[in-house]
Amino acid sequence: MSANDHTTAHEEAHTGPIKTPQQLLAAVFFSFVVPVFAIIGLVYYVASANKTAPGADDGAKVVAQRIQKIGTVEIRDANRPLKSGEEVYKQQCVTCHGSGAAGAPKFGDAGAWAPRIKTGFDTLWHSALKGKGAMGAQGGGDFEDVEIGKAVVYMTAAAGGKFAEPAAPAAAASAAK
Ligand code: HEC
């Protein structure tokens, strides 16, 4: 009797909290099945995070943009034929000078241009390149400095100016040979 008691007590001490088959099933469920589903869920979440939504930009392009190196080189054709003053005027200057917007001396308005023409071509060219008053810098954009100069010649000529066209820069001149 006492030996039997001893065995029962001994077994009791080593069984731990799981005492019934239901508890064993629950323990197996929570320690193996639940983590497996949790991992599957995490994997699915991580994988789906990289998918682009329908209608979003081309995935490869977006990735290329994200991993591109900082700084880009813009290649412009330095040897393209220079635009004429009229072409430059029509593309870049007419918005203001065509109507006299923002107080710009109007195209063909000799009265508005005469005092400016007196200051000399270099002064006007410099103003156009670097900007003056309400006019932002016109240089450094799509056109070469010399093309902006030609536009100044074109505009002043329409208002009684007689400036010679600025010479093309040496680099362009030698490349043209
Ligand atoms: C955003 C409007 C705007 C555009 C675009 C613009 N201008 Fe002007 N421009 C002005 C205004 C305003 C003035 C008068 C500035 C002043 O005297 O304060 C002016 C003045 C000038 C002058 C006289 C500068 C001086 O020293 O008196 C020249 C030359 C000139 N522009 C050339 C150009 C050329 C060439 C282009 C095109 C490549 C151009 N502008 C484009 C607004 C513009």
For residue 127, pLDDT over 90 is answered with yes
Give the number of other CB atoms < 10 A from CB of residue 151.
26
d(CA 134, CA 85): 21
CA angle 31–36–40, rounded 5-degree value: 155
Contact between 163 and 152 (Cβ < 8 Å): yes
d(CA 154, CA 124): 12
Residue whose CA lies nearest to ligand 1 atom number 31: 128
Q: What is the pLDDT of residue 177?
A: 44
Residue whose CA lies nearest to ligand 1 atom number 27: 116
d(CA 80, CA 77): 6
Condensed to tens digits (0 to 9), the pLDDT of residues 151-171 reads 999 999 999 999 998 887 655
Residue whose CA lies nearest to ligand 1 atom number 29: 124
Residues in contact with ligand 1 by the CB-under-6-Å rule are 88, 92-93, 95-97, 102-105, 116, 123-124, 127-128, 132-136, 138, 148, 151-152, 155
d(CA 25, CA 38): 18
Q: How far is the CA of 162 from the centre of ligand 1 (A)?
A: 18
Q: What is the chain's mean pLDDT, rounded?
A: 83
Contact between 159 and 110 (Cβ < 8 Å): yes
Q: How far is the CA of 161 from the centre of ligand 1 (A)?
A: 15
Q: How far is the CA of 141 from the centre of ligand 1 (A)?
A: 15
Identify the CA nearest to 97 among candidates 122, 142, 127, 140. 127
Condensed to tens digits (0 to 9), the pLDDT of residues 31-85 reads 988 999 999 999 988 887 766 665 566 777 778 878 877 777 777 777 788 899 9
Q: What is the pLDDT of residue 48?
A: 78
Residue whose CA lies nearest to ligand 1 atom number 33: 128
Q: What is the pLDDT of residue 54?
A: 57
Q: What is the pLDDT of residue 175?
A: 45
Q: What is the pLDDT of residue 1?
A: 47
Give the torsion sign (CA, 58, 64, 66, 70).
Answer: negative
Contact between 152 and 128 (Cβ < 8 Å): yes
